[in-house]
């Protein structure tokens, strides 16, 4: 009996050695003892895509990666744009009242939260400028000063947060829910 | 071979060979399970999983567990206050989850909630959850916080509500029917890289907590962010988790239950088994399967299949715990 168990063990070990150490489980339904990997069509960011629960396929994401490349290019462009003094970047969200008086001479830069990133990650502005953050991600985020200067509440998708920077300096910030999300405002 | 014997064999795999030797059907059953992604090993301290069908077939006729046996339930990531396409009504799905819990036989001795009770700590969210959970037929609920529960106030509200009887920032342990349960907090020390962290004080506490225990004591550790490096790129790791696990290596049976990633992943490392849980609110993409983690919108008819609860059975005298994953639909 033990030899048969050992044989079984060996077979299983051999099989499992070929299985990735972390294997996503398909979600099982009542009464189904087991199943082969299922392909699910999932929707993320509005676009349906497919993946299998056993093996993560990177193939379907090539379009996404191209998209990210384009987004990066836009981000670089935006960084350049907001780095140039002057009213260049349009803003949909009206600034808070306290900032309105100084808006005539200030830019209205906007930072977008998407795919767990602040974009652009670094924004250079003049003192007295109000920066607006827009959460275009699907998750909850915050805009929280690393120096304790400001902290947004939890921003749901579509929410915005604005802060007016009055003094020159370097102002790092992060997302309190996802601290790897970091950004910096450089005030000249 | 009946489903009962399959269950018994799975529960005994670390110590006893199958009662009737290995049959083709049993081998196929196990291989089929492996095909679903479950990890099987013959090392000691194994815990096994079953489908609901198997679990139901394995219930004693009277529906009563033997003395010393018990079951408990893990729920996770209820995200009260979430509004988004991934689930337009997280309260409705939580009620569904509670209906599943209340239908379990035997009834769970208690619940473990592995964090992200609320989505954004909005006023009244903790109250809403507390009110809803009153309808669960169980004696007690133990909580550990997720980052969504503490990001605004550093955990003040959470600890005011659930910190009684805990040490430090919510660290807790208790014994139940010979099993030692440990609740760890790894969301209050977020590091720059976004990794979960326990911190040296909590590690010291853990070291002292387990020092008095015999190595044969079964351990269940529950915490929000996985203690193991599930996917560091997305922050699905606890930076100093390995130090904690090092303190637990001498134990013959260690079961680590996590939330945070809203999907079931399992791993076996020696006598330690790791299980992440489904959310009751919304699913997340598989590691690396999307540009970033976050609420994943699935077709409406699939949502209930990717949300769920976990029922854990402990049978006295056996070091393995049996886990039953119950989707909401």
Q: What's the CA gap between B199 and B187, in Å, rounded?
A: 10
Q: How close, in Å, is residue A149 to chain B by CA atoms?
A: 14
A109 DSSP assignment = -
CA dist A48 → A45, A148, B97 (Å)? 8, 40, 27
Q: Where are the domains of chain B?
A: 70-327
Q: What's the CA gap between B88 and B92, in Å, rounded?
A: 9
Interface test with A, best of B289, B306, B328 (most A CBs within 10 A): B289
**A179 — pLDDT class (breaks 50, 70, 90):** confident
**ipTM for the complex shown:** 0.75
Question: Is B296 within 8 Å of A44 when comparing Cβ atoms?
Answer: yes
Q: What's the CA gap between A116 and A109, in Å, rounded?
A: 19
Buried b (16+ CB within 10 A) or exposed e, A57-80: eeeebeebeeebeebeeebeebbe
Q: Which long-range contacts (CB under 8 A, 24 or more apart) does B28-33 make?
A: B29/A33, B29/A34, B30/A8, B30/A12, B31/A12, B31/A15, B32/A33, B32/A34, B32/A35, B33/A34
* CA of residue B117 relative to chain centroid, distance: 14
Question: Is B41 within 8 Å of A115 when comparing Cβ atoms?
Answer: no
Q: What CATH number should be reported for the domain whose range is B70-327?
A: 3.60.21.10
Contacts of B24 (CB under 8 A, 6+ apart): none
User: Nearest chain A Cα to B147, which residue?
Assistant: A177
Token pair 């050992």: residue: A6
What kind and span of H or E run contains B51?
A: none
Residue B20 CB neighbours (<10 A): 11
Residues A135-152, mean pLDDT to the nearest whole number: 94
Q: What's the CA gap between B185 and A127, in Å, rounded?
A: 41
- pLDDT (tens digit per residue) in B34-60: 323 222 222 233 444 443 334 444 444
- pLDDT (tens digit per residue) in A88-137: 333 444 445 444 434 434 458 999 999 999 999 999 999 999 999 999 99
CA dist B257 → A76, B76, B321 (Å)? 42, 10, 12
Q: Roughly how many angstroms between the first and final C-alpha of chain B, as a whole number?
A: 29
Task: Quote the mean pLDDT of chain B.
Answer: 83
Q: Determine the pLDDT at residue A10.
A: 55
User: Nearest chain B Cα to A156, which residue?
Assistant: B83
Q: Determine the pLDDT at residue B318.
A: 72
Pairs of CB atoms within 8 A across A/B: 191
Q: What's the CA gap between A15 and B90, in Å, rounded?
A: 39
Q: Determine the pLDDT at residue B167.
A: 97
Interface contact A29, partner B, CB < 8 A = yes
Q: Determine the pLDDT at residue A4.
A: 57
Q: All domains of chain A, ordered by start, with CATH? A: 62-187 (2.60.40.420)
| pTM for this predicted structure | 0.70
């Amino acid at each position: 009996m033990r030899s048969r168990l050992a044989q079984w063990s060996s077979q299983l070990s051999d099989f499992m050695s070929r299985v990735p150490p972390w294997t996503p489980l398909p979600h099982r339904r009542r009464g189904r003892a087991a199943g082969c990997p299922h392909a699910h069509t999932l929707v993320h960011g509005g676009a349906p895509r497919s993946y299998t629960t056993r093996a993560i396929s990177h193939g379907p994401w090539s379009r996404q990666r191209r998209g990210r490349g384009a987004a990066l290019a836009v981000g670089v462009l935006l960084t350049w744009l907001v780095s140039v003094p002057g009213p260049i970047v349009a803003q949909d969200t009206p600034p808070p009242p306290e900032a309105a008086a100084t808006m005539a001479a200030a830019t209205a830069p906007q930072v977008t939260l998407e795919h767990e990133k602040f974009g652009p990650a670094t924004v250079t502005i003049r003192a007295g400028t109000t920066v607006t953050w827009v959460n275009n991600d699907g998750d909850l985020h915050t805009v929280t000063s690393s120096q304790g200067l400001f902290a947004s509440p939890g921003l749901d998708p579509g929410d915005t947060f604005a802060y007016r920077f009055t003094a020159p300096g370097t102002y790092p910030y992060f997302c309190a829910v996802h601290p790897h999300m970091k950004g910096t405002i450089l005030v000249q | 071979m009946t489903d009962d014997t399959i269950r018994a064999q799975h529960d005994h795999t670390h110590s006893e060979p199958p009662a009737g030797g290995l049959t083709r059907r049993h081998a196929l059953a196990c291989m089929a399970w492996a095909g679903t992604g479950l990890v099987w090993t013959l090392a000691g301290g194994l815990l096994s999983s079953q489908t609901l069908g198997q679990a139901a077939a394995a219930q004693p006729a009277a529906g009563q567990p033997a003395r010393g046996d018990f079951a408990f339930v893990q729920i996770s990531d209820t995200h009260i206050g979430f509004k988004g396409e991934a689930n337009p009504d997280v309260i409705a799905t939580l009620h569904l989850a509670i209906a599943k819990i209340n239908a379990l036989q035997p009834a769970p001795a208690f619940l473990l909630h592995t964090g992200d009770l609320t989505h954004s700590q909005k006023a009244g969210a903790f109250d809403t959850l507390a009110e809803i959970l009153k309808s669960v037929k169980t004696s007690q609920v133990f909580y550990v916080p997720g980052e969504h529960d503490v990001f605004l106030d550093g955990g003040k509200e959470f600890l005011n509500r659930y910190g009684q009887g805990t040490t430090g920032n919510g660290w807790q342990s208790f014994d139940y029917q010979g099993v030692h349960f440990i609740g760890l907090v790894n969301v209050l020390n977020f590091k720059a890289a976004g990794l979960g962290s326990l911190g040296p004080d909590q590690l010291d506490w853990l070291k002292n907590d387990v020092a008095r225990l015999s190595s044969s004591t079964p351990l269940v550790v529950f915490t929000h962010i996985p203690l193991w490096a599930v996917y560091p790129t997305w922050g699905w790791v606890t930076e100093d988790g390995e130090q904690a696990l090092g303190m637990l290596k001498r134990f013959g049976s260690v079961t680590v239950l996590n939330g945070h990633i809203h999907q079931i992943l399992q791993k076996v490392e020696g006598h330690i088994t790791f299980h992440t849980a489904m959310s009751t609110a919304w699913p997340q993409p598989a590691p690396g399967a999307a540009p970033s983690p976050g609420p994943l919108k699935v077709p409406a008819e699939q949502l209930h299949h990717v949300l769920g609860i976990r029922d854990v059975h402990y049978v006295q005298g056996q070091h393995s715990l049996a886990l039953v994953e119950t989707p909401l639909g």
